[in-house]
Chain A
Amino acid sequence: GAVVSQHPSWVICKSGTSVKIECRSLDFQATTMFWYRQFPKQSLMLMATSNEGSKATYEQGVEKDKFLINHASLTLSTLTVTSAHPEDSSFYICSARQDSSTEAFFGQGTRLTVV
């Protein structure tokens, strides 16, 4: 199957700082990328959908000014958690799909710990 890679796999940051997570589709061009958040022992919750070259669409309750998403190219989307707080600590997972007729492939996830 197609490969979606996230970087970093894990990150620890101080409260109040910003963290950037990258999501890359390695062997296909992704017109759409999705960002999810997963708290321990819980399911995946969609945060936002991003289409290449346009603004991301955020789910209800997700602050767009706190979770900045950029999808500047067909192979890269970034999620920046701004002014991170301990409650932002979670497992962030991206997925990418080539077009609307294909299923998205998931990255390996990024474990964010804010101390």
Chain B
Amino acid sequence: GQQLNQSPQSMFIQEGEDVSMNCTSSSIFNTWLWYKQDPGEGPVLLIALYKAGELTSNGRLTAQFGITRKDSFLNISASIPSDVGIYFCAGRGGATNKLIFGTGTLLAVQP
């Protein structure tokens, strides 16, 4: 099935550092979602974006819906150990309007 290109694939950072990850698609989306998945658990929705150019924050997390509607990024500021996990972007749009997931970014935070 179709997947979004998400980068980086993994990140190993020190506590307190800022993190940035992004997703790109060849298709236009009308919705971008960002999820966090802990090991052995289902994804949890972090931020939802519905308009091109929209910039939304959720605590230390900030995400933006790209102007071209083909990309989105997620920033995490001042990372803490509990930020560890896999972050997935997901886009929805096109004829099927189905949610398509990115390839994921594994984040490791060293105290």
Residues of A near any B CB (own CB < 8 A): 1, 4, 6, 34, 42-46, 49, 59-61, 91, 93, 95, 103-109, 111
* Contact call B99/A46, Cβ cutoff below 8 A: yes
What A residues does B28 contact at CB under 8 A? none
Task: Answer whether A111 and B43 are a contact pair too, CB < 8 Å, given A43-B102, A44-B88.
Answer: no
**Cβ contact of A43, chosen from B33, B44, B88, cutoff 8 A:** B88
Judge if B65 is at the interface, Cβ distance under 8 Å. Answer: no
**Cβ contact of B40, chosen from A1, A34, A95, A111, cutoff 8 A:** A111
* Contact call A46/B1, Cβ cutoff below 8 A: yes
What A residues does B40 contact at CB under 8 A? 91, 108-109, 111
What A residues does B101 contact at CB under 8 A? 43-45
A105 CA to B41 CA, complexed, in Å: 12
Judge if B42 is at the interface, Cβ distance under 8 Å. Answer: yes
What A residues does B1 contact at CB under 8 A? 45-46, 59-61
What A residues does B44 contact at CB under 8 A? 106
A43 CA to B41 CA, complexed, in Å: 13
28 A-B contacts (beta carbon < 8 Å) = A4-B42, A34-B99, A42-B103, A43-B3, A43-B101, A43-B102, A43-B104, A44-B88, A44-B101, A45-B1, A45-B101, A46-B1, A46-B98, A46-B100, A49-B98, A60-B1, A61-B1, A93-B42, A103-B45, A104-B99, A106-B35, A106-B42, A106-B44, A107-B42, A108-B40, A108-B42, A109-B40, A111-B40
What B residues does A61 contact at CB under 8 A? 1
